[in-house]
Amino acid sequence: MLDEGKKPLVSIKDLKMHFPIFAGLLRRRVGEVKAVDGVSFDVMEGETLGLVGESGCGKSTCGRAVLRLYDITSGSIEIDDREIGATPQTELRDMRPTMQMVFQDPQASLNPRMTVEDIIKEPLDEHTKLSDAEKRDKVGELMDAVGLNRKFAKRYPHAFSGGQRQRIGIARALALNPKFIVCDEPIAALDVSIQAQVVNLLEDLQEQFGLTYLFISHDLSMVRHIATRVAVMYLGKIVELAPREALYAEPLHPYTKALLSAVPEPDPSLARTTERIILQGDVPSPSNPPQGCNFCTRCPSVMDICKRVEPEYREVQPGRFTACHLYNDTNDTAGQTAGHEAQELTNKENST
């Protein structure tokens, strides 16, 4: 079932986005924040790739870099058969309608001096030749679609609640019928019912128009619902990528395991008893990542080699990628799995 026949719409190779750090009186460059440090993945046409990981691990930066909202440090970005990794910003303009972003921070991304109607209409003004009446209709449809009352069209962003503002951003991103949308925490500020409404909407649009999404979220139950495949990031790198079911049923990378075990349980009698793998140690700084495996300072399964050699990111089972020394010996898959289960048992004992 591995997306046979489907081709990648987006293909990212060894993408890096480093931010310089300046310090001292002369503001000299003293280092860099390796926010995204060599990630590679494909997003297939019509699929939703979930991107999850700890706060600050580089998800937003990755999403923005893929859409070339930054001039990237290095790497290749191919969208719709066009390499745009090094394309100058001015030449990207005609591609902008096909690729859109829903921003994490709804307030900061909405112009406070424009009415909601104008905000949603703006991309239509810029990139289409629709008549005013057609545009107004389209805006109304979009507002319906994201569950905003049409009566609010003339209001300004400050008159909306946090969740309502988030939906304005979604409506605008949808205005030009894009092919590829990077959704950066698009539902985090919404109540569960409206989250569900937005996710259902994204799914409907995907079905109707064959949209492709990169869906950034820290809500693992929502990602489980919407994503076809899931990529897990840690400290600027992808540590695991797998089809949804496989990832949730049997996470391979120790970080993924910890992450899944920390999901809060919406049942108070269970919530206070469920077993969690609580990670020890601080998150290392992306300007000074540890030697060897990035996760070695906190990994419950850390081995000697992990502190010296960086594990290679590769396919360890069909369709499943991970970067971890526990899975080095992939030829012997059966023995591997048994060994890893034993490993897991000892982990459980240690963590209780």
Ligand X SMILES: Nc1ncnc2c1ncn2[C@@H]1O[C@H](COP(=O)(O)OP(=O)(O)OP(=O)(O)O)[C@@H](O)[C@H]1O
Contacts of 97 (CB under 8 A, 6+ apart): 123, 127, 176, 178
> Measuring CA to CA, how many Å separate 248 from each of 43, 63, 220, 241, 346?
19, 23, 9, 11, 20
Task: Note whether 37 and 237 are within 8 A (CB).
Answer: yes
Site mask, other proteins, residues 311-350, x = CB under 8 A?
Answer: ----------------------------------------
| 29 contributes a contact to other proteins by CB under 8 A | no
Q: Pick the binder of ligand X from 2, 24, 55, 113 (CB under 6 A).
A: 55
At closest approach, how far in Å is the CB of 348 from ligand X? 28
- Partner whose footprint covers residue 302, from other proteins, ligand SF4, ligand X, none (CB < 5 to 8 Å by kind): ligand SF4
Chain positions 33 to 92 lying near other proteins, rule: CB under 8 A, are 33, 52-56, 60-61
The C-alpha atoms of residue 102 and residue 91 are separated, in whole angstroms, by 22
Q: In the complex, what is the shortest distance from the CB of residue 323 to ligand SF4, in angstroms, rounded to a whole number? A: 7
By CB under 5 A, residue 61 contacts Mg ion: no
Interface pick for ligand X out of 31, 38, 147, 163 (rule CB under 6 A): 163
Site string for ligand X, 263-302 (x = CB under 6 A): -----------------------x----------------
Partner touching 311 among ligand SF4, other proteins, Mg ion, none, CB below 5 to 8 Å by kind:
ligand SF4
- Which residues, 6+ apart, have CB-to-CB distance to 130 below 8 Å? 124, 138
242 contacts 320 by C-beta, under 8 angstroms: yes
Sign of the alpha-carbon torsion through 73, 61, 71, 231: positive
Distance in Å, CB of 246 to ligand SF4, minimum = 18
Q: Which helix (H) or strand (E) holds 62?
A: helix 59-66
* Residues engaged in binding ligand SF4 (CB under 6 A): 253-254, 293, 295-296, 299, 301-303, 306, 311, 324-326
**DSSP labels for 313-333?**
-EEEETTEEE--GGG---SSH
Q: Dig out the tokens for 312 from the structure.
A: 């290679």
Residues 6+ apart with CB under 8 A from 74: 14, 15, 16
Task: Return d(Cα 297, Cα 290) in angstroms, integer.
Answer: 7
Residues 171 and 142: their CA atoms lie apart, in Å, by: 5
- 35 part of the interface to ligand X, by CB under 6 A: yes
Query: For residues 71-130, which are near ligand X according to CB under 6 A?
Result: 104
Instruction: Decide if residue 160 touches ligand X (CB under 6 A).
Output: yes
Residue 133: how many other CB atoms lie within 10 Å: 8
The closest alpha carbon to 163, from 147, 144, 182, belongs to 147
The tokens describing 313, both together, are 């990111």
Q: Does 60 bind Mg ion (CB under 5 A)?
A: yes
Q: How far is the CB of 331 from other proteins (least distance, A)?
A: 32
Span 175-214, contacts to other proteins by CB under 8 A? 185, 188-197, 199-200, 203
Question: Which residues are paired to 19 by β-bridges?
Answer: 33
Residue 160 binds: one of Mg ion, ligand SF4, ligand X, none (C-beta under 5 to 8 A by kind)? ligand X
What number of chain residues touch ligand X (CB under 6 A)?
21
Q: Which residues bind Mg ion (CB under 5 A)?
A: 60, 104, 161-162
Q: Which residues bind other proteins (CB under 8 A)?
A: 19, 21, 23, 33, 52-56, 60-61, 104-108, 147, 149, 151, 154-155, 159-164, 185, 188-197, 199-200, 203, 218, 220-222, 224-225, 248, 258-260, 262-269, 271-272, 276, 278-279, 282-285, 287-288
Q: Which residues bind ligand X (CB under 6 A)?
A: 19, 33, 35, 55-61, 104, 158-164, 191, 218, 286
